[in-house]
Structure 1
Amino acid sequence: MHALIHDPDAPRGIRLGEAPEPVPGSSQALVEVRAVALNFGELAYISDFRKPGEVPGSDAAGVVVKAAADGSGPAVGSRVATVGWSDGWAELRAVDTGELAVVPEGLDLGAAATLPVAGVTALRALRRLGPVVGRRVLVTGASGGVGRFAVQLAARAGAEVVAAVGSPARGEGLRELGASEVVVGLDGVTAPVFGVLENVGGPLLAQAYSLVEVGGSVQSIGKASLEPSTIDFEAERLRGGGRGIEVFTIGSGLGPDIAYLVGELAAGRLDPQIGWRGSWERAAEAAEALFGRTIRGKAVLDLD
């Protein structure tokens, strides 16, 4: 079958090639993939986690062509959004039935493909902050895939959302998604925040942590800066403590949360924020655009 495979010599480490067809396990459905979504992290660290010739890819949406043998999951012909930690960028995917959700007829599969990693990350990280109604929540890297979902979900949860971006152009559209403030960097943020959904890492993580009020916390979600973070905990001790920081991991069993987000998308209460879309033959182009910070939101590839 055709697939995007990892090739260290190809632009951004991916190219179209051939891969063996997957053999589903008893609790897996076989899905004919129609669209995939790219995530910055899986491209940035592709050489660390993938061997040459392997098929990467977490997010994919398509149609079930073989139902799970154990009777779990949807029937043949069902349209689904799926997640896994590899093998998504291919014509066929075998996926655990606990890691997918049915997509209703009429809902764009490309839009549904944006939801599993970025959408569920934003949803689960927001939950870990605790109740946010009437509280200030800072979202860094707010123009990225996770960030734009986080802004929408936090605003819907009743938070006063401060969206931090790297440039004025990157902040376009965030107020329409629910942000109360859009800032470039954090130097202009002086009022404390209850929670931070932090996607950038590096020095910005320490700066964001210094803004958290007593009883609040930071969810350290990603490292788009590709820089290490250092926090002066002695300085934080002088502030009196009482502020948490957690290394976020998305976990497993994403199916129910994907289903919730699919429902929000279908009802028009969630915008997938697709900033780039094209054929998977243009995957390297899309990857370059992600790294060049020219995409606001998600990049989606359609399988022709």
Structure 2
Amino acid sequence: MDTVEIDAPVAGVTVYPDRARVTRRGRVRLTAGDHRVRVAPLPLGLRRDSIRVGGRGAVTVLGVDVAAWRQPRSTDAQVVELERRRRELADELAEVGDTDAIEDQRGEFLTRLAERAGGTYARALATGDAAPADVAAFTDSVSGQLAESRARRRGLARRRTELAEELAAVDRELDAARGKREPDRLAAEVSVSVDADDTEVELELTYLVDGARWTPSYDLRLVEDTMTVTWFGLVSQGTGEDWPECELQLSTARPAAASGVPELSPWYLDRLRPEPPMVVSAASFGGVVPPPAPGAAPAARP
């Protein structure tokens, strides 16, 4: 059984107060035989027992499985760009650290060179082997190089602080997109059987996913004696999948994750049976027989 990838974008979303029902639709042409159609990626918060499959075409749906779809990194464009920027910042931060270490070694070398050269020049001046101008030129050269090295180190320290702050901001954005950052996703694998070659199949996949909600909001405005009430819904979601422009509905229901078969209470039906007439004894009237109903024949005395 071969596996066929299908592009099934989000076609509609129904948002509930604590979750959402997502509908995806896609088309694919299949040859005769059995196939496994994969719809991916799906969010990790998908409720596996809520997935339903429908569609159109001369095809029989044999079943649907939900499997993990392993990826080396996230496929979300926002997360990919943030991770790329984070790698650039980390590399530049490491480069600044290496340059600062080199400047530190340079400063130590110049300091030791100045200390050793000081004694040598002092003896040379005492013996007349060195001129004071040569000593002054050497001292000025070493001092200038030390000053430049320390200035570069101060600039590197400022750059390190800027890079650390920008890196922290990128990390915060990645934390906010935590659902999108996860590289692993779920995939729905629909097993189908096709009777004829070159058959166009339209599949519709629906599922419940956590991490979505909506809340009502009201705006009341009173102008003189007229009050205007505006109602709208605020939708938010952190499911890890994008909802492009599609049919969006809001619902106050709270659907169950799975529709189980309820236990039914039996109803018993029978024909109507008239109740027998009530027999009243004379003792019930203190031994006195009640008078007969109008039009009834008098009872025979014993």
Q: Same fold (TM over 0.5)?
A: no
Higher RCO (C-alpha under 8 Å, 6+ residues apart): 2
Structure richer in helix, relative to its length: 2
So what's the TM-score if we normalise by structure 2? 0.19
Flag the structure with higher strand content.
2
Please give the TM-score of this superposition, normalised by the length of structure 1.
0.19
Structure with larger Rg: 2
